[in-house]
Chain A
């Protein structure tokens, strides 16, 4: 029975090990902490495998949710709980965007190869709650609904965090382009 559970868990969960690690690595401060997070998340997942939920979405959102919970439990223990935005409904999501937020986008596109390092730094500096939704959206290509399930929050919250995370990265991008004059000539369109 136990051997059967192990085999089944291995088949369902292990293909997502790298995806879970990628998210953990961006949440953790270093490789060792990321490894530790992944190990604890997979251990929790194995113990809870009999109660495996989220079958509708598959194993990846389920594992990422466990990782997310593991990460936040650790942060709470360390008294470093992040400041979270108030939950907002989907309907009122757009109402809370400041007008000037909509004007901060750069028209010009940068030299992306030169921007990779800057992009990684910008992601690392995002508040943890923004970084999480950005990771799940950009790297794992989850939908708003799946991200809300993983983070256990409302879709409106996912949208507002994602909006702000993208705005912050866009601002960094705009500053980088302006500093190095990397505009590719598309600013005149």
Chain B
């Protein structure tokens, strides 16, 4: 699999949305290609950071009566 083919499916790979066979092909490529592996890491970190950036956001509670 070439880099360009891998990059088409990289998001789906990170999201666990590919068949096992395709997963293995991409995993094989990532083990050999540090550039694509760095892109996969960057995307995973983006999702993680998105979750953290907004995780603390909760619905405003009504003010307590004084």
A-B pair count, CB < 8 Å, reads 81
Beta-carbon contact of A105 and B59 below 8 Å = no
Q: How far is the CA of A22 from the CA of B59 in the complex (A)?
A: 7
Q: How far is the CA of A162 from the CA of B58 in the complex (A)?
A: 24
Chain B contact residue count (CB 8 A cutoff): 29
Q: How far is the CA of A94 from the CA of B13 in the complex (A)?
A: 13
Chain A contact residue count (CB 8 A cutoff): 40
Please encode chain B, from 19 to 61, with 1 for each CB lying within 8 Å of some chain A CB and 0 for all others: 0000000000000001101110111011101110111011110
Beta-carbon contact of A189 and B49 below 8 Å = no
Beta-carbon contact of B42 and A22 below 8 Å = no
Complex interface residues of chain A between 136 and 189 (CB less than 8 A to chain B): 137-139, 141, 143-144, 159, 162-163, 166, 169-170, 173, 186, 189
The interface residues of chain B lying within 8 Å CB-to-CB of A43 are: none
Beta-carbon contact of A115 and B59 below 8 Å = no
Q: With A26-B54, A35-B60 as given contacts, are A102 and B7 in contact (CB-CB < 8 Å)? A: yes
Instruction: Write the residues of chain B forming the contact surface with A, with a CB cutoff of 8 angstroms.
Output: 4, 7-9, 11-12, 15, 17, 34-35, 37-39, 41-43, 45-47, 49-51, 53-55, 57-60
